[in-house]
Protein backbone atom coordinates (compact mmCIF):
# COMPACT_ATOMS: atom_id res chain seq x y z
CA UNK A 1 0.00 0.00 0.00
CA UNK A 2 1.15 3.49 -0.74
CA UNK A 3 1.73 5.87 2.08
CA UNK A 4 -1.36 7.89 2.84
CA UNK A 5 -1.32 11.65 2.93
CA UNK A 6 -3.51 13.97 4.89
CA UNK A 7 -4.58 17.43 3.83
CA UNK A 8 -3.09 20.27 5.85
CA UNK A 9 -5.97 22.69 5.64
CA UNK A 10 -9.42 21.97 6.93
CA UNK A 11 -12.34 23.91 5.56
CA UNK A 12 -13.96 26.31 7.97
CA UNK A 13 -17.54 25.55 8.84
CA UNK A 14 -20.36 28.04 9.32
CA UNK A 15 -23.87 27.41 10.57
CA UNK A 16 -25.33 28.71 7.30
CA UNK A 17 -23.24 26.27 5.28
CA UNK A 18 -24.28 23.37 7.51
CA UNK A 19 -27.97 24.17 7.07
CA UNK A 20 -27.52 24.66 3.33
CA UNK A 21 -25.77 21.32 2.89
CA UNK A 22 -28.34 19.52 5.02
CA UNK A 23 -31.13 20.94 2.85
CA UNK A 24 -29.28 19.93 -0.32
CA UNK A 25 -28.73 16.42 1.06
CA UNK A 26 -32.40 16.05 1.95
CA UNK A 27 -33.34 17.31 -1.51
CA UNK A 28 -31.08 14.79 -3.24
CA UNK A 29 -32.49 11.92 -1.20
CA UNK A 30 -36.08 12.98 -1.94
CA UNK A 31 -35.36 13.38 -5.67
CA UNK A 32 -33.80 9.93 -5.89
CA UNK A 33 -36.72 8.44 -3.99
CA UNK A 34 -39.21 10.12 -6.32
CA UNK A 35 -37.25 8.93 -9.34
CA UNK A 36 -37.30 5.36 -8.08
CA UNK A 37 -41.06 5.60 -7.47
CA UNK A 38 -41.58 6.88 -11.01
CA UNK A 39 -39.56 4.01 -12.49
CA UNK A 40 -41.51 1.40 -10.55
CA UNK A 41 -44.87 2.96 -11.36
CA UNK A 42 -46.85 1.20 -14.07
CA UNK A 43 -49.11 4.14 -14.84
CA UNK A 44 -46.98 7.29 -14.50
CA UNK A 45 -45.73 7.32 -18.09
CA UNK A 46 -48.50 5.40 -19.80
CA UNK A 47 -50.28 8.59 -20.90
CA UNK A 48 -47.37 9.48 -23.17
CA UNK A 49 -47.88 6.66 -25.64
CA UNK A 50 -45.62 3.62 -25.98
CA UNK A 51 -42.78 5.26 -27.89
CA UNK A 52 -42.40 8.57 -26.02
CA UNK A 53 -43.17 6.88 -22.73
CA UNK A 54 -40.34 4.42 -23.25
CA UNK A 55 -37.86 7.15 -24.18
CA UNK A 56 -38.82 9.31 -21.18
CA UNK A 57 -38.48 6.27 -18.96
CA UNK A 58 -35.02 5.65 -20.37
CA UNK A 59 -33.92 9.24 -19.77
CA UNK A 60 -35.27 9.25 -16.20
CA UNK A 61 -33.65 5.90 -15.42
CA UNK A 62 -30.27 6.74 -16.88
CA UNK A 63 -30.18 10.19 -15.27
CA UNK A 64 -31.22 8.67 -11.97
CA UNK A 65 -28.53 6.03 -12.03
CA UNK A 66 -25.69 8.18 -13.35
CA UNK A 67 -26.36 11.50 -11.61
CA UNK A 68 -27.80 9.88 -8.49
CA UNK A 69 -24.67 7.99 -7.58
CA UNK A 70 -22.51 11.11 -7.90
CA UNK A 71 -25.00 13.31 -6.04
CA UNK A 72 -24.98 10.84 -3.14
CA UNK A 73 -21.20 10.90 -2.86
CA UNK A 74 -21.07 14.68 -3.05
CA UNK A 75 -23.69 15.35 -0.38
CA UNK A 76 -22.34 12.75 2.03
CA UNK A 77 -18.87 14.20 1.66
CA UNK A 78 -20.11 17.77 2.17
CA UNK A 79 -21.82 16.74 5.40
CA UNK A 80 -18.75 14.89 6.67
CA UNK A 81 -16.60 17.96 6.07
CA UNK A 82 -18.69 19.95 8.54
CA UNK A 83 -17.72 17.65 11.39
CA UNK A 84 -14.86 18.61 13.73
CA UNK A 85 -11.51 18.27 11.96
CA UNK A 86 -10.46 15.06 13.73
CA UNK A 87 -13.79 13.37 13.07
CA UNK A 88 -13.63 14.36 9.40
CA UNK A 89 -10.19 12.83 9.04
CA UNK A 90 -11.33 9.65 10.73
CA UNK A 91 -14.60 9.22 8.86
CA UNK A 92 -13.75 10.45 5.38
CA UNK A 93 -11.88 7.34 4.18
CA UNK A 94 -15.01 5.36 4.92
CA UNK A 95 -17.08 7.70 2.75
CA UNK A 96 -14.83 6.62 -0.10
CA UNK A 97 -14.53 2.94 0.69
CA UNK A 98 -17.69 1.85 2.49
CA UNK A 99 -20.22 2.14 -0.36
CA UNK A 100 -18.18 -0.34 -2.42
CA UNK A 101 -17.60 -2.60 0.58
CA UNK A 102 -21.32 -2.55 1.36
CA UNK A 103 -22.29 -3.51 -2.18
CA UNK A 104 -19.77 -6.37 -2.48
CA UNK A 105 -20.79 -7.62 0.95
CA UNK A 106 -24.47 -7.62 -0.01
CA UNK A 107 -23.96 -9.12 -3.44
CA UNK A 108 -21.01 -11.47 -3.00
CA UNK A 109 -19.88 -12.12 0.57
CA UNK A 110 -23.17 -12.80 2.35
CA UNK A 111 -24.88 -14.58 -0.56
CA UNK A 112 -21.85 -16.83 -1.13
CA UNK A 113 -21.84 -17.81 2.54
CA UNK A 114 -25.60 -18.31 2.30
CA UNK A 115 -25.18 -20.54 -0.73
CA UNK A 116 -22.66 -22.75 1.05
CA UNK A 117 -24.94 -23.08 4.11
CA UNK A 118 -28.06 -23.73 2.04
CA UNK A 119 -26.33 -26.40 0.00
CA UNK A 120 -26.12 -28.43 3.23
CA UNK A 121 -29.33 -27.42 4.97
CA UNK A 122 -31.87 -27.30 2.15
CA UNK A 123 -32.56 -31.02 2.04
CA UNK A 124 -35.80 -33.01 2.25
CA UNK A 125 -37.06 -33.87 5.77
CA UNK A 126 -34.92 -36.44 7.49
CA UNK A 127 -32.04 -36.38 5.00
CA UNK A 128 -28.43 -35.75 5.97
CA UNK A 129 -26.22 -32.73 5.35
CA UNK A 130 -24.66 -34.13 2.19
CA UNK A 131 -27.93 -35.09 0.53
CA UNK A 132 -27.65 -32.50 -2.28
CA UNK A 133 -24.06 -33.43 -3.03
CA UNK A 134 -24.86 -37.16 -2.98
CA UNK A 135 -27.73 -36.47 -5.36
CA UNK A 136 -25.48 -34.41 -7.58
CA UNK A 137 -22.82 -37.06 -7.95
CA UNK A 138 -25.23 -39.96 -8.40
CA UNK A 139 -27.38 -38.22 -11.02
CA UNK A 140 -26.32 -39.64 -14.41
CA UNK A 141 -27.36 -36.44 -16.21
CA UNK A 142 -25.14 -34.43 -13.96
CA UNK A 143 -22.25 -36.83 -14.40
CA UNK A 144 -22.69 -36.22 -18.09
CA UNK A 145 -22.63 -32.46 -17.52
CA UNK A 146 -19.44 -32.77 -15.47
CA UNK A 147 -17.89 -34.89 -18.19
CA UNK A 148 -18.87 -32.26 -20.75
CA UNK A 149 -17.36 -29.54 -18.58
CA UNK A 150 -14.13 -31.53 -18.50
CA UNK A 151 -14.12 -31.82 -22.31
CA UNK A 152 -14.83 -28.08 -22.63
CA UNK A 153 -12.16 -27.32 -20.08
CA UNK A 154 -9.46 -29.01 -22.13
CA UNK A 155 -10.52 -28.32 -25.70
CA UNK A 156 -11.86 -24.75 -25.55
CA UNK A 157 -8.82 -23.06 -23.92
CA UNK A 158 -6.43 -25.23 -25.94
CA UNK A 159 -8.23 -24.40 -29.20
CA UNK A 160 -8.36 -20.67 -28.49
CA UNK A 161 -4.72 -20.73 -27.40
CA UNK A 162 -3.65 -22.57 -30.55
CA UNK A 163 -5.51 -20.27 -32.94
CA UNK A 164 -4.51 -17.15 -30.98
CA UNK A 165 -0.85 -18.14 -30.88
CA UNK A 166 -0.72 -19.17 -34.53
CA UNK A 167 -2.39 -16.00 -35.66
CA UNK A 168 -0.27 -13.78 -33.40
CA UNK A 169 2.92 -15.41 -34.73
CA UNK A 170 1.80 -15.07 -38.35
CA UNK A 171 0.63 -11.45 -38.24
CA UNK A 172 3.86 -10.44 -36.55
CA UNK A 173 5.40 -10.94 -40.00
CA UNK A 174 2.98 -9.06 -42.24
CA UNK A 175 2.41 -5.39 -42.96
CA UNK A 176 -1.33 -4.93 -42.43
CA UNK A 177 -1.07 -6.43 -38.97
CA UNK A 178 -3.59 -4.19 -37.21
CA UNK A 179 -6.24 -4.71 -39.85
CA UNK A 180 -5.82 -8.49 -39.89
CA UNK A 181 -6.16 -8.64 -36.13
CA UNK A 182 -9.53 -6.89 -36.12
CA UNK A 183 -11.16 -9.88 -37.82
CA UNK A 184 -10.09 -12.34 -35.11
CA UNK A 185 -10.70 -9.82 -32.41
CA UNK A 186 -14.24 -8.84 -33.39
CA UNK A 187 -16.13 -11.84 -31.92
CA UNK A 188 -14.82 -10.83 -28.51
CA UNK A 189 -17.50 -8.14 -28.34
CA UNK A 190 -20.34 -10.46 -29.37
CA UNK A 191 -22.59 -11.88 -26.66
CA UNK A 192 -22.87 -15.59 -26.02
CA UNK A 193 -26.53 -15.35 -27.01
CA UNK A 194 -25.67 -13.56 -30.26
CA UNK A 195 -22.90 -16.06 -31.01
CA UNK A 196 -25.36 -18.88 -30.35
CA UNK A 197 -27.70 -17.51 -33.02
CA UNK A 198 -24.83 -16.99 -35.46
CA UNK A 199 -23.62 -20.56 -35.05
CA UNK A 200 -27.06 -22.17 -34.97
CA UNK A 201 -27.36 -20.69 -38.44
CA UNK A 202 -23.95 -22.01 -39.50
CA UNK A 203 -24.93 -25.47 -38.20
CA UNK A 204 -28.48 -25.38 -39.65
CA UNK A 205 -29.55 -28.78 -40.99
CA UNK A 206 -31.98 -29.46 -43.83
CA UNK A 207 -33.04 -32.94 -44.99
CA UNK A 208 -30.79 -34.48 -47.66
CA UNK A 209 -31.80 -33.50 -51.17
CA UNK A 210 -33.12 -30.06 -50.18
CA UNK A 211 -30.86 -26.98 -50.51
CA UNK A 212 -28.79 -26.49 -47.37
CA UNK A 213 -28.98 -22.95 -45.95
CA UNK A 214 -26.46 -23.67 -43.17
CA UNK A 215 -22.93 -22.87 -44.31
CA UNK A 216 -21.30 -25.97 -42.88
CA UNK A 217 -23.79 -28.45 -44.33
CA UNK A 218 -23.59 -26.65 -47.66
CA UNK A 219 -19.87 -27.42 -47.68
CA UNK A 220 -20.44 -31.00 -46.56
CA UNK A 221 -23.03 -31.67 -49.28
CA UNK A 222 -20.95 -29.86 -51.91
CA UNK A 223 -18.15 -32.31 -51.11
CA UNK A 224 -20.61 -35.16 -51.66
CA UNK A 225 -21.45 -35.94 -48.02
CA UNK A 226 -24.77 -36.28 -46.21
CA UNK A 227 -25.85 -33.21 -44.20
CA UNK A 228 -24.95 -33.61 -40.53
CA UNK A 229 -27.28 -32.49 -37.70
CA UNK A 230 -24.39 -30.82 -35.90
CA UNK A 231 -26.32 -29.76 -32.81
CA UNK A 232 -28.30 -32.99 -32.36
CA UNK A 233 -25.76 -35.68 -33.20
CA UNK A 234 -23.84 -36.99 -30.19
CA UNK A 235 -20.92 -36.39 -29.56
CA UNK A 236 -20.37 -33.97 -32.47
CA UNK A 237 -22.72 -31.46 -30.84
CA UNK A 238 -20.55 -30.82 -27.78
CA UNK A 239 -17.59 -30.22 -30.08
CA UNK A 240 -19.75 -27.92 -32.20
CA UNK A 241 -20.53 -25.84 -29.11
CA UNK A 242 -16.89 -25.75 -28.07
CA UNK A 243 -16.06 -24.32 -31.51
CA UNK A 244 -18.38 -21.38 -30.69
CA UNK A 245 -16.40 -20.69 -27.52
CA UNK A 246 -13.08 -20.92 -29.39
CA UNK A 247 -14.43 -18.53 -32.01
CA UNK A 248 -15.35 -16.04 -29.27
CA UNK A 249 -12.15 -16.32 -27.23
CA UNK A 250 -9.38 -16.65 -29.83
CA UNK A 251 -9.18 -12.86 -30.09
CA UNK A 252 -8.41 -12.58 -26.39
CA UNK A 253 -5.64 -15.16 -26.71
CA UNK A 254 -4.27 -13.36 -29.74
CA UNK A 255 -4.11 -9.94 -28.07
CA UNK A 256 -2.26 -11.19 -25.00
CA UNK A 257 0.11 -13.46 -26.93
CA UNK A 258 0.81 -10.93 -29.65
CA UNK A 259 1.93 -8.41 -27.03
CA UNK A 260 4.07 -11.11 -25.42
CA UNK A 261 5.68 -12.11 -28.72
CA UNK A 262 6.59 -8.49 -29.39
CA UNK A 263 8.26 -8.44 -25.99
CA UNK A 264 10.70 -11.21 -26.96
CA UNK A 265 14.02 -9.44 -27.59
CA UNK A 266 14.96 -9.33 -31.28
CA UNK A 267 18.58 -10.12 -30.30
CA UNK A 268 17.52 -13.49 -28.91
CA UNK A 269 15.80 -14.41 -32.18
CA UNK A 270 18.78 -13.13 -34.19
CA UNK A 271 21.20 -15.19 -32.10
CA UNK A 272 19.20 -18.36 -32.66
CA UNK A 273 19.07 -17.63 -36.37
CA UNK A 274 22.84 -17.15 -36.57
CA UNK A 275 23.16 -20.53 -34.84
CA UNK A 276 21.29 -21.94 -37.82
CA UNK A 277 17.90 -22.59 -36.24
CA UNK A 278 14.93 -22.82 -38.61
CA UNK A 279 11.92 -20.54 -38.26
CA UNK A 280 9.73 -23.22 -36.65
CA UNK A 281 12.49 -24.19 -34.23
CA UNK A 282 13.01 -20.54 -33.31
CA UNK A 283 9.33 -20.22 -32.56
CA UNK A 284 8.96 -23.40 -30.51
CA UNK A 285 12.35 -23.24 -28.71
CA UNK A 286 12.98 -19.52 -28.28
CA UNK A 287 9.72 -17.59 -28.55
CA UNK A 288 7.32 -20.02 -26.89
CA UNK A 289 9.42 -20.62 -23.75
CA UNK A 290 9.80 -16.89 -23.22
CA UNK A 291 6.05 -16.25 -23.45
CA UNK A 292 5.15 -19.21 -21.25
CA UNK A 293 3.70 -16.96 -18.54
CA UNK A 294 1.35 -15.27 -20.98
CA UNK A 295 0.27 -18.63 -22.36
CA UNK A 296 -0.65 -19.80 -18.86
CA UNK A 297 -2.59 -16.57 -18.27
CA UNK A 298 -4.55 -17.11 -21.48
CA UNK A 299 -5.26 -20.75 -20.75
CA UNK A 300 -6.40 -20.24 -17.17
CA UNK A 301 -8.48 -17.15 -17.93
CA UNK A 302 -10.36 -18.91 -20.72
CA UNK A 303 -10.64 -22.05 -18.58
CA UNK A 304 -12.45 -20.09 -15.88
CA UNK A 305 -14.78 -18.55 -18.46
CA UNK A 306 -15.40 -22.04 -19.86
CA UNK A 307 -16.35 -23.50 -16.47
CA UNK A 308 -18.99 -20.81 -16.11
CA UNK A 309 -20.22 -21.08 -19.69
CA UNK A 310 -23.98 -20.69 -19.76
CA UNK A 311 -25.45 -18.60 -22.55
CA UNK A 312 -23.93 -20.51 -25.48
CA UNK A 313 -25.40 -23.79 -24.25
CA UNK A 314 -28.67 -22.26 -23.07
CA UNK A 315 -29.47 -20.65 -26.42
CA UNK A 316 -28.22 -23.43 -28.74
CA UNK A 317 -29.39 -26.70 -27.17
CA UNK A 318 -30.34 -25.85 -23.58
CA UNK A 319 -28.39 -28.92 -22.60
CA UNK A 320 -30.44 -31.35 -24.69
CA UNK A 321 -28.87 -34.19 -26.68
CA UNK A 322 -26.24 -34.77 -23.97
CA UNK A 323 -24.71 -31.30 -24.24
CA UNK A 324 -25.52 -30.05 -20.73
CA UNK A 325 -22.90 -28.28 -18.63
CA UNK A 326 -22.96 -27.47 -14.94
CA UNK A 327 -23.75 -23.74 -15.18
CA UNK A 328 -26.71 -24.40 -17.46
CA UNK A 329 -28.01 -27.15 -15.20
CA UNK A 330 -27.60 -24.87 -12.20
CA UNK A 331 -29.65 -22.18 -13.94
CA UNK A 332 -32.43 -24.60 -14.84
CA UNK A 333 -32.55 -26.13 -11.35
CA UNK A 334 -32.76 -22.66 -9.83
CA UNK A 335 -34.90 -20.81 -12.30
CA UNK A 336 -37.14 -23.38 -13.89
CA UNK A 337 -37.53 -26.08 -11.24
CA UNK A 338 -37.03 -23.83 -8.17
CA UNK A 339 -34.90 -26.61 -6.80
CA UNK A 340 -32.85 -24.24 -4.66
CA UNK A 341 -30.99 -26.74 -2.48
CA UNK A 342 -29.71 -28.67 -5.46
CA UNK A 343 -28.86 -25.46 -7.34
CA UNK A 344 -26.75 -24.16 -4.46
CA UNK A 345 -24.84 -27.46 -4.29
CA UNK A 346 -24.13 -27.15 -8.02
CA UNK A 347 -22.82 -23.61 -7.64
CA UNK A 348 -20.53 -24.73 -4.80
CA UNK A 349 -19.18 -27.50 -7.07
CA UNK A 350 -18.61 -24.88 -9.76
CA UNK A 351 -16.81 -22.66 -7.27
CA UNK A 352 -14.58 -25.54 -6.13
CA UNK A 353 -13.66 -26.20 -9.74
CA UNK A 354 -12.76 -22.54 -10.34
CA UNK A 355 -10.52 -22.16 -7.26
CA UNK A 356 -7.54 -24.32 -8.33
CA UNK A 357 -7.44 -22.70 -11.76
CA UNK A 358 -7.56 -19.28 -10.13
CA UNK A 359 -4.67 -20.27 -7.83
CA UNK A 360 -2.56 -21.29 -10.85
CA UNK A 361 -3.49 -18.01 -12.52
CA UNK A 362 -2.57 -15.81 -9.54
CA UNK A 363 0.71 -17.66 -8.90
CA UNK A 364 1.61 -17.25 -12.54
CA UNK A 365 0.82 -13.52 -12.46
CA UNK A 366 2.93 -13.15 -9.32
CA UNK A 367 5.84 -14.87 -11.03
CA UNK A 368 5.57 -12.38 -13.85
CA UNK A 369 5.51 -9.55 -11.33
CA UNK A 370 1.99 -8.41 -12.17
CA UNK A 371 -0.57 -7.65 -9.54
CA UNK A 372 1.63 -8.44 -6.58
Residues 30 to 59: which contact other proteins by CB under 8 A? 36, 39-40, 50, 54-55, 57-58
Residues 211-270, interacting with other proteins (CB under 8 A): 211-215, 218, 247, 250, 252, 255-256, 258-259, 262, 266, 269-270
Kindly state the smallest distance separating residue 213's Cβ from other proteins, in Å.
5
Task: Lay out the site mask for other proteins across 182-221 (x = CB under 8 A, - = otherwise).
Answer: xxxxxxxxxxxxx-xxxxxxx-x------xxxxx--x---
Kindly state the smallest distance separating residue 22's Cβ from other proteins, in Å.
17
Kindly state the smallest distance separating residue 199's Cβ from other proteins, in Å.
6
* Contacting residue, 21, 28, 64, 159, with other proteins by CB under 8 A: 64
Residues 98-157, interacting with other proteins (CB under 8 A): 99-101, 103-104, 106-112, 114-115, 118
Range in contact with other proteins (rule: CB under 8 A) among 22-30, 129-137, 144-152, 363-371: 363-371
| Residues 42, 55: Cα–Cα separation, whole Å | 15
User: Of the candidates 300, 262, 322, which has an alpha carbon nearest to the alpha carbon of residue 158?
Assistant: 300
Nearer of residues 311 and 322 to other proteins, judged by Cβ? 311
Nearer of residues 23 and 104 to other proteins, judged by Cβ? 104
| Residues 134, 126: Cα–Cα separation, whole Å | 15
**Binding of other proteins at residue 322 (CB under 8 A)?**
no
Kindly state the smallest distance separating residue 89's Cβ from other proteins, in Å.
9
How far is residue 49 from each of residues 36, 44, 58, 70, 143, measured CA to CA in Å? 21, 11, 14, 31, 52
| Residues 302, 298: Cα–Cα separation, whole Å | 6
* Contacting residue, 27, 33, 84, 93, with other proteins by CB under 8 A: 93
Nearer of residues 140 and 211 to other proteins, judged by Cβ? 211
* Contacting residue, 160, 163, 245, 291, with other proteins by CB under 8 A: 163
Kindly state the smallest distance separating residue 181's Cβ from other proteins, in Å.
5
* Contacting residue, 23, 26, 48, 97, with other proteins by CB under 8 A: 97
* Contacting residue, 28, 75, 171, 240, with other proteins by CB under 8 A: 171
* Contacting residue, 2, 124, 138, 275, with other proteins by CB under 8 A: 2
Task: Lay out the site mask for other proteins across 325-344 (x = CB under 8 A, - = otherwise).
Answer: --x--xx--xx----x--xx
Amino acid sequence: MSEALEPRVQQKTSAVAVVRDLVVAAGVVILIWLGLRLLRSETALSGLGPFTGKLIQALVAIALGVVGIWALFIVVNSLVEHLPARATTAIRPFVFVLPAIAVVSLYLVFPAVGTIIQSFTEVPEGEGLFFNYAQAFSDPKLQLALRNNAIWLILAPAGALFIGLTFAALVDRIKREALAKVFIFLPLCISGAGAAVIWRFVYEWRPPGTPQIGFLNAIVTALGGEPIPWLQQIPTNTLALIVVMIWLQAGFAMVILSAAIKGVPTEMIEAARIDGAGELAIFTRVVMPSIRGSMITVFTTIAIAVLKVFDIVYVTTNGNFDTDVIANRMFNEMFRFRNFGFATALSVILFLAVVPIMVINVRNLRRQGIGS
